[in-house]
Chains A and B, each alone.
Chain A
Amino acid sequence: MFRDAWLVAGKDLRLEARSRVTTNQVAPFAVTVLILFAFALDPDSDVLERATAGLFWVAVLLSSLLALQRAFTVESVDGNRDALRLSGLEPAGIFLGKACAVAAQLIVLEVVLGIGVVVLYDATLAGPLLLGATCLAATAGLAAAGTLYGVLAAGLRVRDTLLPLLLFPVVAPVLIGGTRAFEAALGDVPGEGWPWVGLLCVFAAVYTAFGVLAFGPILEES
């Protein structure tokens, strides 16, 4: 299973390295979202400062949607989905590999967005340990849930519009937990943030376990 995961993750990251969709399209989109938020909320008021954590995670969610759609679009063209089924790769390995590749791209996006909120919103990144742990746990949850719902939608003609409808309600706990943990870190009260990190870890564990078990049947049926 882990050999298959390594193989699939390597393939997806090589695809990304050659196409540069994340660096040339998704990351600029994420920064654009941050800039639009800054335009919408008066930068001179303290609204932007108070909303920084939430805006960061909303930007991450919107950007992750593009990364996820890209991850499954490449499997939907030219029969590659059938090729995956024919390959004999363990479905759990495919799930873990794709989730890891998505997670790696999300980490890059979060670094870009972190720099963005410092520069654009004048945020002070206090509590680096809590911030890092929050990002890792939230990213794992987003990648696991996104990969699961991504393959579910990938077999449908309406996948581009269906995926956000399926995914966003499900990942609401990531938005809430990530925002609360970031608020604690940015407010210099990290002790209040760790329970939210725990919630994010539980979310990630549940969706990873569910994905390992369910990815195969979904790949077959969808």
Chain B
Amino acid sequence: MELAVHLRAAVSLLGRFPALAGVDLDVAPGEIVLIQGPNGAGKTTLLRACAGLVPVVRGVAVVLGHDLRVDARLVRRRVGLLGHATFLYDDLTVADNVRFWSRACGASRADADAAMARLGLEGRLADVVVARLSAGQRRRASIAAMIARRPELWLLDEPHAGLDQAGRDVVDTLVRDAAAAGATVLVASHELDRARALAGRTVTIAGGTIPSGGTTPPVLASGSPVYGPRGRQNDGWVDAGAPGAPGEVVGVP
């Protein structure tokens, strides 16, 4: 089976500082993986590296079948990144923004309108200039712009930040639906209870490394579904993680 994300001893630099100092990580298609770790551990850099925005200067980095060190541009179009920045133009309306980014990625206007509807941004709110939105509404618009692209790999950096309870529930539903439809999801979050409930596996990053557990596939009792939402069957992988330690691997309950 071809992995959606395959990193081996991957190193990325921010300036001269090795923000990723030899990361090993395998993620299977359709899997939802929580990346946890303290501030500055490298979670955001890991997601940006998987998106092809931060170059991997050493090691192996294959995402969606493409070597990031050779053809990162081929990966980017198939990736959806929800980061700290909203990726929105303040002077355009919500609809302008979502439609522009969806068309840029080859998606249709219908995809954009459907994405706005799922985030509760249809109707009058769609015609409001982004600069006039609240922080939570901006976050919703940002998510709508991301999902309108129909990405195959979702890279979510604190996806629940700034959202109300209803918005958080919508995000969880979107992630589960995406995984059920075959998309792979990496979530970096400090809201561990909520994110763990969402993810099929938890990987801890510390000091820019995932020492070993990142390559250990999800755990499951024989015959039970591995990636809950997708119902993928056990591939015979085993749990080798120690809870709480870097590289911890937690199976689907």
Which of A's residues lie within 8 Å of B, judged by CB? Answer: 4, 7, 11, 14-15, 18-19, 74, 77-80, 82-83, 85-89
Q: How far is the CA of A18 from the CA of B92 in the complex (A)?
A: 7
Are A85 and B87 in touch, CB under 8 angstroms? no
Q: How distant is the Cα of A89 from the Cα of B101 in the complex, in angstroms?
A: 10
Q: Which residues of A contact B73 (CB under 8 A)?
A: 88
Question: Are B91 and A80 in contact, CB atoms less than 8 angstroms apart?
Answer: no
* Nearest opposing residue in chain A for B130, CB measure: A78
In the complex the two chains form, what is the Cα distance from A74 to B101 in whole Å? 15
In the bound complex, do residue B87 and residue A80 qualify as a contact, i.e. CB atoms below 8 Å apart? yes
Q: Pick the residue among A7, A18, A88 that contacts B100 (CB under 8 A).
A: A7
Contact (Cβ within 8 A) B77 A11: no
Residues from chain B with a CB closer than 8 A to the CB of A89 are 104
Proximity string of chain B (72-107) to chain A, C-beta cutoff 8 Å, 1 when within and 0 when not: 010011010101111111111100100011011110
Contact of A74 among B79, B85, B89, B106 (CB under 8 A): B89
Q: How far is the CA of A83 from the CA of B104 in the complex (A)?
A: 10
Interface residue ranges of B87-141 to A (CB < 8 Å):
87-93, 96, 100-101, 103-106, 129
What sequence of 0s and 1s flags, for each residue 30-53 of chain B, a beta carbon within 8 Å of any chain A beta carbon?
Answer: 000000000000000000000111
* A residues near B83, Cβ cutoff 8 Å: 79, 82
Docked pose: A85 CA to B74 CA in angstroms: 11
Given contacts A11-B100, A83-B101, A85-B76, contact A77 B90 (CB under 8 A): yes
For B77, B79, B101, the residue with the greatest tally of chain A CB atoms inside 10 Å of its CB is B101
- Bound complex: CA A137 to CA B159 (Å): 48
22 CB-based A-B contacts, threshold 8 Å: A7-B100, A7-B103, A7-B104, A11-B92, A11-B96, A11-B100, A14-B96, A15-B92, A18-B91, A78-B86, A78-B87, A78-B90, A80-B87, A82-B85, A83-B101, A85-B53, A86-B76, A86-B77, A86-B79, A87-B76, A87-B104, A89-B104
Within 8 Å CB of B87, what residues of A?
Answer: 78-80, 82-83, 86
Residues of B near any A CB (own CB < 8 A): 51-53, 73, 76-77, 79, 81, 83-93, 96, 100-101, 103-106, 129
A82 close to B53 (CB less than 8 A) = yes
Name A79's contact: one of B52, B86, B92 (CB within 8 Å). B86
Q: Knowing that A15-B89, A74-B91, A88-B106 are A-B contacts, what are 9 other residue pairs whose CB atoms are under 8 Å apart, sorted by A's residue number?
A: A4-B104, A79-B85, A80-B88, A80-B89, A83-B87, A85-B53, A86-B52, A86-B76, A87-B76
CA distance A12 to B76 in the complex (A): 22
In the assembled complex, the CB of A207 is this many whole angstroms from the nearest CB of chain B, namely 24
A107 CB → nearest B CB, Å? 21
CA A11 to CA B90, docked complex, whole Å: 12
Q: How far is the CA of A57 from the CA of B176 in the complex (A)?
A: 58
Residues on the B chain within 8 Å of A88, using CB: 73, 76-77, 104-106
CB within 8 Å for A87 and B105 given contacts A11-B100, A79-B83, A79-B85: yes
Residues of B within 8 A of A77 (CB): 90
- With a cutoff of 8 Å between Cβ atoms, the chain B residues found around residue A87 in the complex are 76-77, 101, 104-105
Instruction: Tell me, in angstroms, the Cα distance from A89 to B107 when the chains sit together.
Output: 12
CA distance in complex: A87, B86 (Å)? 14
A95 to chain B, nearest CB (A): 15
Query: Looking across the interface, which residue of chain B has its beta carbon closest to that of A11?
Result: B100
Residues of the B chain whose Cβ atoms lie less than 8 Å from the Cβ of A80: 85, 87-89
Residues of B within 8 A of A19 (CB): 91
In the bound assembly, the distance between CA atoms of A19 and B103 in angstroms comes to 22
Q: Is the CB of A18 within 8 A of B129?
A: yes
Interface centre among A4, A74, A86, A88, by most chain B C-beta atoms within 10 angstroms, is: A86
In the assembled complex, the CB of B90 is this many whole angstroms from the nearest CB of chain A, namely 7
